[in-house]
Structure 1
Amino acid sequence: MKKEIQVISPRQFAFILISFLTGSASLFIPESWAGRDAWISTILAATLGLIPLLLILQLNKKFKGLTIIEYSEICLGKVLGKIFSGFFLLNAFIIATLVVEDLVLLFNIAIIPATPEIILRSGLVLLVIYALYSGIEAIARLTELYVFPIIFLLLILPFLTLQDIDFSYLQPILADGVKPIIAGSLVALNFPFTQITFLAIILPAVNDKRDSTPLYLLSYFIGSVLLLTRTILGVTIFSAEVIGKMLLPTYQIFRLVNIGEFLNRVEAFFIFVWILGFFTTLLAIYYALILGFSQLLGLKEKEPLIIPIGFLIIFLSKLMFPSVSYFVYFAITLPIINISLNFFYPILLFFSSLFKKTPS
């Protein structure tokens, strides 16, 4: 396959990283498993999530211009590398279907509840298919439109809901021990922190003439702070018991915002930003999928895979998630698969790369 032309800047990749962390994860609070200590789970998951990020950045420096699919064959051998890459891409495909279902859930609850899910799935995927033909540069530009509004909305939210916040809901700390915190951190590590490993397929497209690791770490920190903000707000406004039963807790927080006649129904604007975030996240994963599979299969072009993978997502999302209960159950059991591939796979590649020469 011909090499991808480097077309996005380090700043744009940093925005993609923020979008990846907050795009769909800001809608949910998976750390609610930890109860009132959910905020500790967020911090722990964000700290552990630094490991795969630093590793894929280091691997990208060593294997400049190669994606994780390509250098896995160098590190592990052709056969074993293809096997691991196949499972890695299959995991990315599953995550893509979950992102589609996240958006379908948002539409069904907050926007157009009577619309058949197949129409929502098909419309979203077809829109993504259309956008993908514009390439990674268009995805990066779209992400720039999303990042600043979501940062503004999540940072201003504590001030807009100040009258509803009760910090006593955070106490007592560690009353239930460390097991709930570990459980909550594993769920959060799975979604969204370890999913940034998929960006190892996009990294070679960055026109990085100098080391931009500090910029990427800053963007990771910003995304983590935004997620910590939504976790603390969810617990202090609704209590740990309530948010554990909510499907869209952050959306419900925004519904509380009502400052006289001047500022109300702010959730409508937040929904628009959310949709943009879901869309950019799905675009990035979808792009990584088609590029990764084209390299795995040795295809000269990636474009022929865009439509077939899109229809597979539509079909399998309906098959895998016939109801919300199936969707929730799958999201709970997924960490076992996702963390194994997205967290430990970069570790395996990194230590294997120590015994390999840097390609010329």
Structure 2
Amino acid sequence: MERITNYQLFTMTFLYQLGTTIIFGFGSNAGREAWIAALCSTLLGTIVIMMYIALMRMNPGLTLIQLFPAQLGRWVGTPISWLYPLLFLFDAGRIVGDLRDLVPSTILPNTPPLVFNGLFMIVMAYALFLGIESFARAGENLFSIIILLFLIEVVLLFSSKVINFDYLLPLLDKGWSPIWKEVFPAGITQSYGETIAFAMIWIQTKNPERIMKITIISSLLSGVMIAFSLVLAITIFGEDLFKRSIYPLYTMLGVVNVGDFINNLNPFGVIYFTTTAFFKMYIKIFAAIYAIKQLTCLQSYRVLILPAVIIVLYIGMTVSKNVSEHIFYLALKIVTPYIWVPMFLILPAILFVVTWVKQKVIKRKSNST
């Protein structure tokens, strides 16, 4: 079995949680309080992740899809387990849809989306064939690059003198209601609830006892980075323009202008947006094919890579007609309330309660004897 180090798990979790969240204006309906919504989502989402890790600790050596049959029985648990690899493949396809809409509208307007996404998925298939350990080593290097690019971006934005902190005021003038609407369910399930995919990978870490600490730190760091990015976008564009922009964190790179020499850094934004999207998609597909391998008792997951990649590409190219349908209808009105909430919150919570009660009963019986 391939093994992942503590630092590799940290970098993978961080890049995964940035994922496609860093592309869009998280919590834009909360207006200038979007960054508060991001921080609240981070705190509550981290608690959800702690529940996932607690489940793993109560069932040592088992992956996500093995937990349900172990605790709920084969006839109930196995059908539920099958839902997760199907969901992971669908979510990976939605990431392809994100890139299908982003790349042609930004740096490659004359390139057919199928060409870019097709090449992207070829690289994805190659990375999957190399295995999770090689992918984790790549994450170590790319983490440093992403952080460096972000710091350069911050310095250049401040040097361009386009930031106006008055745009953040007045604070909470509409109360907490708009913030909580962004926090639940979308804020908690996006990135943080999606981290349930790592429950297919945690058993491959070298020090399972440190997973809780590592994951909490990486989750908080990614949340702070997203919140700070939102602060930058709001202080540059103001509330109205921020709410209307589909890609505010990408657009703000276009306002960089230092001495009429350093400007138009949008392509660099696409580079690190694509990188984090790649990481998130990889984990989703790997979790899906590894789950199917366990459910079907296959010898190797590699025979599933090409079919999975083709399915993900097809979903991504057909899941929605345009970016508005993709984000505002499919993601917010369908996927989040009717798929993510049951799969990321309700079912794991039920599993947690059942596991806890069973262990309490077993412990009581052993004490009585």
Same-fold call, TM cutoff 0.5: yes
Structure 2 Cα separation of the partners of residues 207 and 60 of structure 1: 15
2:176 to 172, 175, 178: 178
Say whether the 8 Å CA contact 1:146–1:277 is kept in structure 2.
no
Aligned position for 2:124: 128
Say whether the 8 Å CA contact 2:6–2:210 is kept in structure 1.
no
Aligned position for 2:284: 285
Instruction: Give the AA of the match of 2:174.
Output: D
**Where do 1:53-92 residues align within 5 Å?**
53-92=49-88
Moved more, 5-14 or 312-321: 312-321
Q: CA deviation at 1:209?
A: 5.9
Instruction: Give the AA of the match of 1:331.
Output: A
Aligned position for 1:304: 303
**Where do 1:121-270 residues align within 5 Å?**
121-162=117-158, 163-186=161-184, 187-208=186-207, 210-260=209-259, 263-270=262-269
Q: Could you say if the C-alpha distance between residues 300 and 252 of structure 1 is closer, same or farther in structure 2, counting changes exceeding 3 Å?
A: same
Aligned position for 2:353: 351
Structure 1 Cα separation of the partners of residues 296 and 241 of structure 2: 47
Structure 2 Cα separation of the partners of residues 305 and 356 of structure 1: 35
Task: Calculate the TM-score normalised by the size of structure 2.
Answer: 0.90
Structure 2 Cα separation of the partners of residues 255 and 347 of structure 1: 43
Classify the secondary structure of the residue corresponding to 1:24.
coil
Q: CA deviation at 1:156?
A: 4.6
Instruction: Give the AA of the match of 1:50.
Output: T
Structure 1 Cα separation of the partners of residues 141 and 21 of structure 2: 18
Aligned position for 2:314: 315
Are 1:25 and 2:21 an aligned pair?
Answer: yes
Q: CA deviation at 1:6?
A: 4.0
Q: CA deviation at 1:112?
A: 0.8
1:37-71 CA-partner distances (Å, limit 9, x unpaired): 11121111111111221122222223222211112
1:75-129 CA-partner distances (Å, limit 9, x unpaired): 2211221222222222222210111122222311222112112222222222211
Structure 2 Cα separation of the partners of residues 319 and 215 of structure 1: 37
Aligned position for 2:366: none
Q: Percent identity?
A: 26
1:239-298 CA-partner distances (Å, limit 9, x unpaired): 222122212111111121221255334333332222222212211111001001222233
Structure 1 Cα separation of the partners of residues 209 and 18 of structure 2: 27
Structure 2 Cα separation of the partners of residues 189 and 72 of structure 1: 22
Instruction: Give the AA of the match of 1:154.
Output: F
Query: Where in structure 1 do 4 or more consecutive aligned residues deviate above 4 Å?
Result: none
**Where do 1:88-107 residues align within 5 Å?**
88-107=84-103
**Where do 1:322-341 residues align within 5 Å?**
322-328=321-327, 329-333=329-333, 334-336=335-337, 337-341=339-343
Instruction: Note the aligned Cα RMSD (angstroms).
Output: 2.0
Query: Any stretches of 5+ residues in structure 2 without a counterpart?
Result: 363-369
Moved more, 281-290 or 253-262: 253-262
1:126-183 CA-partner distances (Å, limit 9, x unpaired): 2211210111011111212221222233345443223212222222222223331122
Q: Which of structures 1 and 2 has the bigger CA Rg? A: 2
Q: CA deviation at 1:212?
A: 4.1
Structure 2 Cα separation of the partners of residues 104 and 209 of structure 1: 37
Structure 2 Cα separation of the partners of residues 225 and 331 of structure 1: 23
- Number of equivalenced pairs: 354
Say whether the 8 Å CA contact 2:202–2:208 is kept in structure 1.
no
Say whether the 8 Å CA contact 2:17–2:192 is kept in structure 1.
yes
Instruction: Give the AA of the match of 2:182.
Output: G
